[in-house]
Chain A
């Protein structure tokens, strides 16, 4: 599956972008200027299309629901209220879901990253007999799988239904991640290093844990982040494998409130039409606040994660 033969595999792609080409100044022709203007305009519009809905959610989450209904909220919040947030923080389902998500994320990431790093290192060793066949066993699963139903039945037969294992194990090892990790090891751990270590009597275990892992910090960071994000955002395994509300991760709680419009959090479902309408509006307000609260952690971490993710895309592309 070789894509490009790029010698700068492990280098930061952003740096490569910077070195890309010298600045063009005087030689800009009219055509190029028109191109620049069009390109910048298209990109600015794209940025706006991405940012504005998110910005609107944020200002709507602190606005008076009536103002939103009347269409008064466009650029600035109107009739500022924090009621939506207060309701979220008073909602025990949210806290419970958050707690579950934290547990699933920590356990799941630990299992996935450990399995992938160890397995990928073994597969990166060209002197391991049977390497090609073993790799093939993994690659096959990328193109054909048993499907949802048999996966469910296997998890059920294993007695994992309604346990933390059903959420963290069935998707633990992504073959694509394994391939990324393997090509990282292949490109960054020189054979000579291993031969020297073996000369000094280091076993494969010792070499892997004492030399390879400390040299692979960017890869470890990338793998941790991929799995934290995936686990934090996943809901489907929890949906099919868990049936006990108290074990639901945050995303499943969110789905029930945001999409299934489960309004019981507002308390007043009975009563006259007016209080029902009021309750509805509060429920809408809570939705905006909920979107903000659940996405904020990853959005804050994004600038920090970006470097690692672009690097990962690079390794993946070069493989």
Chain B
């Protein structure tokens, strides 16, 4: 209430200089009046300062030779040494290739499936079946990554696993899925769909529910079939959500699934399962090459950010919804 009164009192005819003075002191007053809000925000600010911005400040060790005694600031600069070493190392092509493979494969397969599922579920006539489908399909999202990978190991086990039992029943030879490099990518992507498609579907269902039912009624009167209505009403209706989620997925392209890849790694599938981030983990935390692995991590983040900016621009050019 009192907050608005000084603003009202300000005369429009006031000279520029005094007005600025007034607005400055007014601003101070506003700030001091809102001190309780800043107190509420303080813990979250302290959190991002310590756990987000401090590590960001520490990223400089990618260009330094980090040693614990000197810390982030005083370790000696070495320029691009670590980046050059990474690009020239024999793992570079391999880890970059593996990362892009599972990222792109994951995006191509795992991104459209929830949309298709949502369109189908949305068309179901029976509310009970609709609800049941939703619940069942998204329940795996609540299973931990550790357990999902654990399930893979037991179900795909060469000696006692369900899948190999079925293969043998059909007269085939058992396959050592978790121990062969060429099976890593299919298993990775299929398990991703299995675990997350149902949960991602929920967002699209929410967007579909927001479409004006009158559009469907009108189309029905005109004799449009269900497929036509999906194509001309549902799909355009959820397109903004699809675009945003696609850009976000691109922005996370090189980050997702790192934990699962790490858990799925066995010495035998390493040639396909070592991605940039697991490499950072191995080189950095297990072998304590902090600067070298920080440089690789930075390489990953920058690549990611570039992809995000690129696709956001493309979306804007295409007049689609964008992040900003």
Contacts and interface: CB of A to CB of B under 8 A. Distances in A.
Interface of A: 1-4, 6, 8, 13-14, 16-24, 27, 29, 31-32, 35-36, 39-40, 42-43, 46-47, 49-51, 53-54, 56-57, 60, 65, 68-69, 71, 114-116, 118-119, 121-123, 125, 127-130, 134, 137-138, 141, 143-154, 157-158, 169-170, 172-173, 178, 195, 198-199, 203-205, 208, 229, 232-236, 240, 251-252, 254-255, 258-259, 281, 284, 287-288, 290-291, 294-295, 298-299, 302-303, 306, 309-310, 313-314, 316-318
Contacts of A255: 146, 150, 263
Given A21-B217, A42-B120, A172 B47 contact: yes
A57 B140 CA distance: 13
Given A31-B226, A43-B120, A317-B206, A284 B157 contact: yes
Contacts of B37: 121-122, 125, 128, 204
A291 B151 CA distance: 7
Given A21-B217, A198-B1, A303-B135, A39 B120 contact: yes
Interface in B52-83: 52-59, 61, 66, 71-72
A113 B176 CA distance: 44
**Which of A13, A18, A56 is packed against the most chain B CB atoms within 10 Å?**
A13
Nearest to B139: A302
Given A21-B213, A43-B121, A284-B154, A49 B305 contact: no
Contacts of B27: 129
B146 A157 contact: no
B285 A148 contact: yes
Enumerate the 4 nearest inter-chain pairs by beta-carbon distance, A residue then B residue, closest first.
A146-B55, A119-B44, A147-B297, A258-B150
A313 B206 CA distance: 8
A146 B140 contact: no
B55 A119 contact: no
B52 A141 contact: yes
Most buried by B among A6, A158, A310: A310
B290 interface: yes
A78 B262 CA distance: 34
A23 B198 contact: no
B19 interface: no
Interface of A is mostly: helix
A115 B55 contact: no
Contacts of A118: 40-41, 43-44
Contact of A13 (B58, B205, B220): B205
16 contacts: A17-B122, A17-B205, A20-B122, A29-B225, A31-B227, A53-B151, A119-B45, A127-B34, A137-B45, A154-B55, A170-B51, A235-B145, A235-B146, A258-B150, A310-B134, A317-B207
Contact of B55 (A116, A151, A205, A208): A151
B48 A138 contact: yes
B57 to A, nearest CB: 8
Given A46-B137, A204-B37, A310-B202, A22 B217 contact: yes
Interface stretch (B9-17, B162-170, B179-187): B162-170
A258 B162 CA distance: 16
A309 B202 contact: yes
Contact of B194 (A36, A50, A306): A50
B285 to A, nearest CB: 6
